[in-house]
Amino acid sequence: MKHLFLAVCLLLCSGALTAQTLNIIPTPQHTEVGQGHFTFNANTRLAYKHKDAKEVAQYFAQKIQRTAGFPLRKGKMGAAGTITLEMDASIKGREAYQLTITSDRVVAKASTADGLFYAVQSLLQLLPPEVESQQQLPKVEAWQIPVVKIDDAPRFPYRGVMLDPCRHFLPVDAVKRQIDMLAAYKINYLHWHLTEDQGWRIEIKKYPRLTEVGSRRVEGDGSVHQGFYTQEQIREVVEYARQRHIQVVPELEIPGHELAAIAAYPELSCRGEATTPRNIWGVEDVVMCPGKERMFTFLQDVIDEMVQLFPGKYFHIGGDECPRGEWEKCDSCQARMKAQGYTREAQLQSYIIGRIEKYLRGKGKTIIGWDEILEGGNLDTTAIVMSWRGESGGITAAKAHHHVLMTPADQGCYFDYYQGDPMVEPPYFGGYYTLERIFSYDPVPAQLKGTDGEQYVLGIQANNWSEYIHTPGRLEEGLYPRALALAEVGWSQMETRDAQSFVHRVDNDHALRLQAHHINFHIPRVEQPGGSCNHVVFTDRKMLELSTSRPLAIYYTLDGTKPTEKSTRYTGPITLTQTTLVKAVAQLPCGILGPVRTILVEKEDWHPATRSVVVEKGLRLTLNWGRFDTPYRLPETSDLPPTVVPAIESLRTLTDVPRNVRGVRDYAATVEGYVNMPEKAIYEFNTQNHLVWIDNKLVIDNGTQAVPRISTNNAQIALDKGMHSIRVTFLGGIYNGWPTYWDDAKLKYRVVGTKDWQEVKPEMLFH
């Protein structure tokens, strides 16, 4: 019986040791696993001849020296006990490689250094995860590498990640750390978004005010956010990336999203009015003026300096989200339109793109632009279209024989979108795209399959817009491990991709590699099915159900201590009969624990309805003018005479707020009175307002929430049918780039156990 079991096991194991169970991400195109191992130790030699192989060999040797602590001495090409890096022109494909591991030697072949570099990445992934350590390991005797023959090449030539240091600056070290990590997954393009409404981040010697003025933004609370890359730092990053076979694609955004440059040189805009870099998110109406020649002179001067710094073939010119209202009212713009015989402002957009495209073509560059560059017509066919507003721009462009890069927000290519329940995650822009969802994406849309448009899809990109990415750690939490799914989508053939095997590889092995690089990668937090809530209320007993966005072990404590894998393992709903602080954590199969989730589960008596006589509709309002940083200690007296407002959302509309949210008279306001609840129930409340008190209990406290827009502080309370006192406080102002005037300021509720949220409507409010 035991032998039979062993035999079945061997059969299964060997049969299953295919491309998908080999540890490599992205999954290689073709893999043949053999028997046995190559033993890698201090006697292993490294051989290469070709000068292009030398840099790859050094990269590998340095990594081994750093972790294993021994040098790889130079060996003879193809000899036993040797890892050979061989240039072989017969390997077809610029990034293709062949990696043959037998029990006595390792041979990597490629026709370019790119291919050899990727062979080395695959080889590293066949070594244990410790090889990625940033320090020397205690003692490495030997590592075993499985016998295998890999023939590999990417599905798409462009596999990219975009970084946005404009909304929140990203220091050089953090950029390099991403380059290191992304290169390990055969990502080969870094799109660097360097100019924005909220900040100009690249030194341009001819226009020093771009960084003196444009790289510095005064936030809503008066603090300053600033940062830019010197040309020397840019060169350093570009070279660092080159050594890791990543081409840096700079983005100079035109003609919109350029308020920081306009703040430095107001004559670039239609009106030429003085301004400052935008300190709120969203799209600025003030844009560059294509009616003026000096705008083109400026862009060409900037390009002249930028092309010296970025030797790659591609140059991104933005082109997205450019409001045209200013052009309609501008004499210069209208004169340009007349001279060109244009009837629509959209043609001005294509006029700019066309002129700059031609200028860049003269410098040997191919332009990439967001899909709006198709608008207005006349786009040169060499221009590459980056499809972000879904796939439709990409489909149209490919049919018109433009090369296309797929980065549709609605297919999970925006890594600033959620990957878990927003109630338990730090703030993201919105959306919801899990690791598995991104993994399943096919960059060739069904409409292009089998048409000649198919061949125009050059690849895929993930974008990391940084409105809510305040630190490198937050960037990494959005980016990893989703970048590994992106790598599979960009490199691996659809038929070799297997979601279950992918998640297995990530959770068992690659998580350890990310950890070795000190990457703050995302680990699912413990959630509650049907909607997570950090403050659960019951009156009798509670069955608390827990889950994770992908299946993982959950451990929890009920005594307030930090949970570990030694705590109670969750196997089903936890029965609670008294007030308890539940702390829970998910664990990856490789042993790494995720962030701890804390849920207050409170036993309450039913809050009785008030017997006071309340007759009038509406709520009493108090207000204090000024900017308040917290809602906790507001003045006792109101700056207004006694006022009644009809709704809770009236809190938001007490001042004039122009589209650009400039010159607003900020305030703090509170409404007070009674809410008439329709039935006896345990209710869950949700709001973006700062504080909600019901029956003198502080139910929702968003006072310390970094971004009030995204409250994770839903809370429950047990209420009898009828009137309950209520008090809601709102702070009007810009908080971390978010004007609270953009919130809906509503108070929402649902009966616990039901799905749909209702609004607290004016007919429920009295005073």
Please report, as ranges, the residues that interact with ligand ACM according to CB under 6 A.
320-321, 370, 388
Q: Is 270 an interacting residue with respect to Zn ion (CB under 5 A)?
A: yes
- Given a contact cutoff of 8 angstroms between Cβ atoms, the answer to whether 759 and 685 are in contact is no
Q: Which two tokens stand for residue 132?
A: 């990625």
672 binds, among ligand ACM, Zn ion, none (CB under 5 to 8 A by kind): none
- Quick one: 370 or 441, whose CB is closer to ligand ACM? 370
Q: Is 288 an interacting residue with respect to Zn ion (CB under 5 A)?
A: no
Smallest distance from ligand ACM to CB 370, Å: 5
Smallest distance from ligand ACM to CB 196, Å: 10
Angle between helices 346-362 and 331-340 (to 10 degrees): 80
Smallest distance from Zn ion to CB 282, Å: 21
Size of the site for Zn ion (CB under 5 A): 6
Give the contacts of 606 (CB within 8 A, at least 6 positions apart): 539, 680, 718, 719, 720
Q: Is 330 an interacting residue with respect to Zn ion (CB under 5 A)?
A: yes
Among 291, 318, 376, 445, binds Zn ion (CB under 5 A): 291
The span from the CA of 728 to the CA of 634, in Å, is 13
Smallest distance from Zn ion to CB 290, Å: 6
Q: Is 348 an interacting residue with respect to Zn ion (CB under 5 A)?
A: no
Closest CA to 95 of 115, 123, 113, 116: 115
Closest CA to 181 of 624, 486, 456, 460: 486
Q: Is 255 an interacting residue with respect to Zn ion (CB under 5 A)?
A: no
Cα angle 498-501-507, degrees, rounded to a multiple of 5: 135
Whose tokens are 């380059």? That residue is 179
The window from 130-138, 144-152, 241-249, 268-276 that contacts Zn ion (CB under 5 A) reads 268-276
- Quick one: 555 or 738, whose CB is closer to ligand ACM? 738
- Quick one: 332 or 624, whose CB is closer to Zn ion? 332
The span from the CA of 129 to the CA of 184, in Å, is 12
Q: Phi then psi for 135, rounded to 5 degrees? A: -125, 170
388 binds, among Zn ion, ligand ACM, none (CB under 5 to 8 A by kind): ligand ACM
Among 333, 536, 576, 692, binds Zn ion (CB under 5 A): 333
Smallest distance from Zn ion to CB 279, Å: 24
SS3 label, residue 358: helix
- Quick one: 318 or 708, whose CB is closer to ligand ACM? 318
- Quick one: 387 or 670, whose CB is closer to ligand ACM? 387
333 binds, among ligand ACM, Zn ion, none (CB under 5 to 8 A by kind): Zn ion
447 binds, among Zn ion, ligand ACM, none (CB under 5 to 8 A by kind): none
Smallest distance from ligand ACM to CB 319, Å: 9
H/E stretch holding 87 reads strand 82-87
The CA-atom distances, in angstroms, between 139 and each of 41, 69, 126, 136, 154 are 11, 8, 19, 8, 36
Smallest distance from ligand ACM to CB 388, Å: 4
Q: Which two tokens stand for residue 332?
A: 């210069």
759 binds, among ligand ACM, Zn ion, none (CB under 5 to 8 A by kind): none
Smallest distance from ligand ACM to CB 374, Å: 13
Among 101, 108, 124, 289, binds Zn ion (CB under 5 A): 289
The span from the CA of 486 to the CA of 760, in Å, is 42
Q: Is 182 an interacting residue with respect to Zn ion (CB under 5 A)?
A: no
Instruction: Tell me which amino acid residue 565 is.
Output: E
- Given a contact cutoff of 8 angstroms between Cβ atoms, the answer to whether 469 and 478 are in contact is yes
Smallest distance from ligand ACM to CB 466, Å: 12
Going by the DSSP 8-state scheme, the letter that residue 426 receives in this structure is P
x/- string (CB under 5 A) for Zn ion, residues 431-450? Answer: --------------------
Smallest distance from ligand ACM to CB 468, Å: 14
613: exposed, middle or buried (Cβ count in 10 Å: 0-12, 13-18, 19+): exposed
Q: Is 675 an interacting residue with respect to Zn ion (CB under 5 A)?
A: no
The span from the CA of 483 to the CA of 489, in Å, is 10
- Given a contact cutoff of 8 angstroms between Cβ atoms, the answer to whether 547 and 569 are in contact is no
| Residues forming the site for Zn ion (CB under 5 A) | 270, 289, 291, 330, 332-333
